[in-house]
Amino acid sequence: MKLLFPENYKPKLDLKQTEKAIKFVKDFFQDSLSAELRLRRVTAPLFVLKGTGINDDLNGVERAVTFAVKDMNDAKAEVVQSLAKWKRLMLAQYGIPVGYGIYTDMNAIRADEELTNIHSLYVDQWDWEKVLTAKQRNLEYLKKVVNQIYSVLLRTEFMVYENYPAIKPLLPEEIYFIHSEELVQRFPKLTPKEREHEITKEHGAVFIIGIGGILSDGEKHDGRAPDYDDWTSVNSAGYKGLNGDILIWNPVLQQSLEISSMGIRVDKEVLLRQLAITGLNERKELLFHKKLLKDELPLSIGGGIGQSRLCMFLLRKAHIGEVQASLWPEEMIRQCAERNIFMV
């Protein structure tokens, strides 16, 4: 078990206060995000049919939880791993106009997740998607939306402080932008995760641009599926990628914490290019991909924002199990309890 135990850790809030604070954070953040990005709340599925191309395969190796549906001739259904492609289908179905979008509570199971202070079998996040124009498919627009999301995070941190004065605001006023290739040049001897820690420790809040493509060292910063984020288009800075991750410095664990993965989505040209790069051209025959290639889906930008991770940061918790109900090894529960880390 890869666990971190902060020295002399003592929670800022007790169990009852924590539960009330979780509700406050989630209510305030999602209402503010909805207003800031002009998003309508919709209901999301817990599972989708296998073989439609709708489910997210993340890095391409994580196994989706699968079961047979008795009343559908034992057709296979998969518990969602994220809703990246489903949301784009919904933009079309709801007829959402340019400049507006949707958001939803996404609940997922990732059975292959390695359990740590920040990783759980259970994933809860706000998944959002917004319609844009062809002219907005650029780095400047991506940064604009990142800044909007970060402004909501700043407001939420302040409101937590207003309600719980023991939790002092820590986030910087502005988020720092850097491309993953720039990180390679700056920290050539470090792993991608170590680079994230260094740059986030320095700036407090960072958006790393360009996740999924091969960098100059021959490696990816991190994996991305080929059919939702655009990680191959050349942006205005001369680097590839119109996607990225929001990271903030976690003062309790003394490491970076990714709270959001997001990006401008693939258009027809980019989809075909990224399927070819990854050797997955057979996906062109799947439902989602056919619709995109037939211009039946709008251009969009979207992402996910981790609910439990956000609560963990804002409430200064040492383990994600302090803010969400999930399954944990007995040995992990015991070791955590000995150090004042109590699972919900």
DSSP annotation of 96:
P
Report whether pLDDT(87) > 70.
yes
User: Looking at residue 245, what is its pLDDT?
Assistant: 98
User: Looking at residue 64, what is its pLDDT?
Assistant: 81
Inter-residue contact 263 to 244 (CB < 8 Å)? yes
Q: In whole angstroms, give the CA distance from residue 84 to residue 58.
A: 10
pLDDT in tens, 24-35: 999 999 999 999
Tokens 């940064």, located at residue: 143
User: Looking at residue 110, what is its pLDDT?
Assistant: 83
Residues contacting residue 223 through CB under 8 Å, at least 6 positions apart = 58, 59, 60, 212
Which position has the higher pLDDT, 280 or 52?
Answer: 280
Which position has the higher pLDDT, 51 or 269?
Answer: 269
pLDDT bucket at 60, cuts 50 / 70 / 90:
low
pLDDT in tens, 189-210: 999 999 999 999 999 999 999 9
Residues contacting residue 201 through CB under 8 Å, at least 6 positions apart = 249, 256
Q: CA-based angle 7:12:17, to the nearest 5?
A: 145
User: Looking at residue 61, what is its pLDDT?
Assistant: 61
Which position has the higher pLDDT, 48 or 161?
Answer: 161
Candidate from 96-105, 114-123, 158-167 with smallest mean pLDDT: 114-123
User: Looking at residue 65, what is its pLDDT?
Assistant: 83
* 286-319 burial: b if 16+ Cβ within 10 Å, else e: bebbebbeeeebbbbbbbbbbbbbbbbbbbbbbb
Q: pLDDT > 70: what percent of the chain?
A: 98
pLDDT bucket at 9, cuts 50 / 70 / 90:
very high
Residues contacting residue 27 through CB under 8 Å, at least 6 positions apart = none
User: Looking at residue 236, what is its pLDDT?
Assistant: 85
Long-range Cβ contact pairs of 180-187 (< 8 A, separation 24 or more): 180/208, 180/209, 180/210, 180/211, 180/215, 180/221, 180/241, 180/244, 181/210, 181/215, 181/216, 181/239, 182/239, 183/208, 183/221, 184/215, 184/216, 184/217, 184/221, 185/216
Q: In whole angstroms, give the CA distance from residue 310 to residue 36.
A: 18
Closest-CA residue to 247 (of 284, 194, 299, 286): 194
The interaxial angle of helices 139-163 and 307-314, nearest 10 deg, is 50
pLDDT bucket at 131, cuts 50 / 70 / 90:
very high
Backbone conformation region of residue 73, classed left if phi is above 0, alpha if psi is from -120 to 50, else beta? left
Radius of gyration of the chain (CA): 20
Q: In whole angstroms, give the CA distance from residue 315 to residue 230.
A: 33
pLDDT bucket at 55, cuts 50 / 70 / 90:
confident
pLDDT in tens, 242-261: 999 999 999 999 999 999 99
User: Looking at residue 63, what is its pLDDT?
Assistant: 75
| Residues assigned a catalytic role | 56, 110, 125, 245, 258, 261
Q: CA-based angle 51:55:59, to the nearest 5?
A: 110
User: Looking at residue 279, what is its pLDDT?
Assistant: 95
Question: Beta strand 75-79 with 66-69: parallel, antiparallel or unpaired?
Answer: antiparallel
Report whether pLDDT(1) > 70.
no
Inter-residue contact 63 to 87 (CB < 8 Å)? no
What sign results for the dihedral spanned by CA atoms 75, 103, 251, 8? negative
* 21-53 burial: b if 16+ Cβ within 10 Å, else e: bbebbbebbbebbbeebebeebebbebbbbeeb
Per this entry, what is the length of the chain?
A: 344
Report whether pLDDT(169) > 60.
yes
User: Looking at residue 59, what is its pLDDT?
Assistant: 57
User: Looking at residue 48, what is its pLDDT?
Assistant: 86
Tokens 């051209």, located at residue: 281
Which position has the higher pLDDT, 267 or 83?
Answer: 267
User: Looking at residue 33, what is its pLDDT?
Assistant: 98
Please give the CATH number for the structural domain made up of 15-337. 3.30.930.10
Report whether pLDDT(6) > 90.
yes
Candidate from 113-127, 146-160, 303-317 with smallest mean pLDDT: 113-127
